[in-house]
Chain A
Amino acid sequence: MSRGAERTAEHAPVAGEFGRGAVPYLYLLPTFLIFVPFVLAPFLHTLGLSFFDWDGLTDWRYAGLANYREALGSPLVRAAFLHALILILFFGVLPILLALLIASASARARVPGDTTLRALIFMPQVMSTVVVGVTWSWIVAFDGPLNQLLRAVGLSALANDWLGSYQWALPTVGVMGAWALTGLCVALFVAGMQQIPATLYDAAAIDGAGRWREFFAVTLPGLRGPIAVALTVTVIAALRAFDIVFVTTRGGPGNTTLVPGFLIYRRAFEDGRIGSAAAIAALLSGVVFSFAFAINRYADRKLR
């Protein structure tokens, strides 16, 4: 987390009398006056609530670890977390692989218009997830353009009710995430590749390295930092995939696209099981923190 900050930190804070005494704290006051009550305290409150039984109306009752035991034993909660892990493949791994291909391709094609093309590839990233969901729900609808295309090219057998199918709904939601997140990864990798010294490529060329050897020996190691960043962002997006599920499938059909965020929402605001929702939220935070920590640990170690 601090790597980016440290890289720009060529100038240490000003020494001497500048900003002494209470002054710095006064500058921090507005931020913390909002951050503490609206972010930090609710987060700690969630952890607290997870040890209680509460329906939002009547008195609460201490429940010990019961909410956690219920959550870990519940097939529904397990399914939600399993779906989140599967979504990591679509939101994280797939965009990163595609972005490596696109970034290497565009490094080779220094042609007029490549910046515009990359901007177009980036475009879905700025759109509201609700818009992404509405757009793709139309495309993959049974009478939508995707099935129309499949029928037109003689693949009618593949046409499907994509979001209504037990088998296909989750991968379809995954593809929507991949569509939205690939552009960000491309931008990260293109910026990262510009940092790789040209001499490394020259050396590889002198060694007679082909396209693949060059990619694995120079490009990939040079992109370790940006890949770690891309992985962190996309993995968190996958674990938090609430909006897209709410708009496209509401967790269905059955519970095949149920994700932790949606389960938290349902239990807290529809079923009145607030302690249970808080326990799932705490577990989700634990998973998010662990992934972010592990990815950055790995990247840092490899960088040294």
Chain B
Amino acid sequence: MRASTGDRVLGYAILVFFAALMVLPILGVILLSLHPADAQLSGFELPRSLHFESYAQAFRTAHFSSYLKSSLIVSSAVVAGTVIVSVLSGYAFGTMRFRGDSLLFYLLLAGLIIPFEAIIVPLYFELRRVHLTNTYWSVILPLIGTNSSFGTFWMRAYFRSVPRNLIEAAALDGAGSLRTLWKVLLPGGRPALLTLVVLVFMWSWNEFLLPLVMLSRDELRTAPLGLAFFAGRYQTDRVGMAAAAVMVALPVIVVFITLQRSFVRGMLAGALKE
């Protein structure tokens, strides 16, 4: 597309304006968190010097060390579980033909669209009956379940993009299907796997409703949950709240900045989570 200088300046101005609109609130919260812990602020003020004590306070006294630990445990387990089951089922759907394959695939895809609100109520009462509420499992297993829909969809697309003769050659060499998967297909699938890891990490780190319902004991709470309760209890402690919010958002933002490409590419495909 050819563009005149005027067009380019206008386009640039629009981009800069919206980037500022997205970044300024985040920047504002970061600056807010660097005020002295007892600062009484009205509106936005630049901190005169940088104070990190609110982070230390949130980490220790407000239990955010425990919340972050819970989130890390839950997210890692969900990522590991989702990747394992999705690779296996994506492999079957992407490379094999069997009775009922499309029926089973669409059944799984329905998981992309079923709202969590529509499974949470019986799920809570069933898990309470078997004494699994207030354990990490009550969050980990349902999240693997919902994420395996996207994971399978995503890995199936990768396995289908692999040239058929690569798999057939491996089969001719006498490699079994598991060996073909492990030695031939997975090494080339690293970018697809990385994207899946990053997305599932973000989705499970940010999940709110499920841990809210399942985990009522404070020491099990995940980071977003801890932040929501902190915000409800200490409404006037703006600086502490800002520090806590930064800590909750930071891990995902760091992953986003370092792995931006796989992130955006995956999110676009993830948008097909319909």
Contact = CB atoms under 8 A, between A and B. Distances in A.
A304 to B, nearest CB: 19
Contact of A128 (B104, B121, B162, B249): B249
Interface in A101-138: 101-102, 104-111, 114, 117-131, 133-138
B15 A27 contact: no
A131 B2 contact: no
A127 B11 contact: no
Nearest to A119: B260
Interface stretch (A71-79, A166-174, A242-250): A242-250
Interface in A224-283: 229-230, 232-233, 236, 239-240, 242-243, 246-247, 260-261, 264-265, 268-269, 274, 277-278, 281-282
Interface string B30-45: 0010000000001110
Nearest to B202: A126
B96 A121 contact: no
Nearest to A287: B115
Contact of A34 (B144, B157, B164): B144
A11 B1 contact: no
Chain B at the A interface: mostly helix, strand, loop or mixed? helix
A125 B267 contact: yes
Given A1-B272, A27-B91, A39-B114, A187 B119 contact: no
B177 A19 contact: yes
Given A118-B15, A240-B117, A16 B88 contact: no
Contacts of A201: 1
B164 A11 contact: yes
Nearest to B177: A19
B173 interface: no
Contact of B88 (A2, A30, A125, A137): A30
A135 B113 contact: no
Nearest to A198: B1
B253 interface: yes
B25 A128 contact: no
A288 B113 contact: yes
Contacts of B205: 128
Nearest to A18: B171
Contact of B12 (A5, A27, A111, A269): A111
A246 B267 contact: no
A261 B117 CA distance: 6
A28 B89 contact: yes
A285 B89 contact: no
Contacts of B1: 107-108, 198, 201
A24 B1 CA distance: 48
Given A108-B3, A109-B12, A242-B209, A11 B162 contact: yes
A74 to B, nearest CB: 17
B73 interface: no
B25 A135 contact: yes
A164 B3 CA distance: 46
Given A38-B141, A126-B253, A274-B121, A236 B113 contact: yes
Interface string B1-26: 11100011111101110110111011
A129 to B, nearest CB: 6
Given A18-B96, A143-B42, A148-B44, A108 B168 contact: no
B188 to A, nearest CB: 14
B95 A13 contact: yes
Contact of A1 (B2, B241, B274): B274
A39 B11 contact: no
A134 B241 contact: yes
B26 A123 contact: yes
B241 A138 contact: yes
Contacts of A24: 92, 96-98, 101
A46 interface: yes
Contact of A16 (B19, B168, B241): B168
A129 B43 contact: no
A264 B225 CA distance: 19
Given A38-B123, A39-B142, A138-B29, 10 more contacts: A1-B113, A10-B160, A42-B119, A104-B11, A122-B264, A139-B25, A144-B44, A145-B43, A148-B42, A268-B124
The 4 A-B residue pairs with the shortest CB-CB distance in the complex, in nearest-first order: A109-B11, A148-B43, A19-B96, A38-B145
Interface of A: 1-5, 8-19, 23-25, 27-28, 30-32, 34-35, 37-40, 42-43, 45-46, 49, 56, 98, 101-102, 104-111, 114, 117-131, 133-139, 143-145, 147-148, 179, 182-184, 187-188, 191, 198, 201, 205, 211, 229-230, 232-233, 236, 239-240, 242-243, 246-247, 260-261, 264-265, 268-269, 274, 277-278, 281-282, 284-285, 288-289, 292, 296
30 contacts: A3-B272, A8-B160, A9-B160, A23-B96, A30-B88, A31-B89, A31-B148, A42-B121, A42-B122, A42-B123, A43-B119, A102-B15, A107-B11, A109-B7, A109-B8, A126-B202, A127-B206, A130-B225, A133-B228, A134-B241, A135-B245, A139-B25, A179-B21, A230-B271, A232-B271, A233-B273, A236-B115, A240-B116, A247-B231, A277-B121
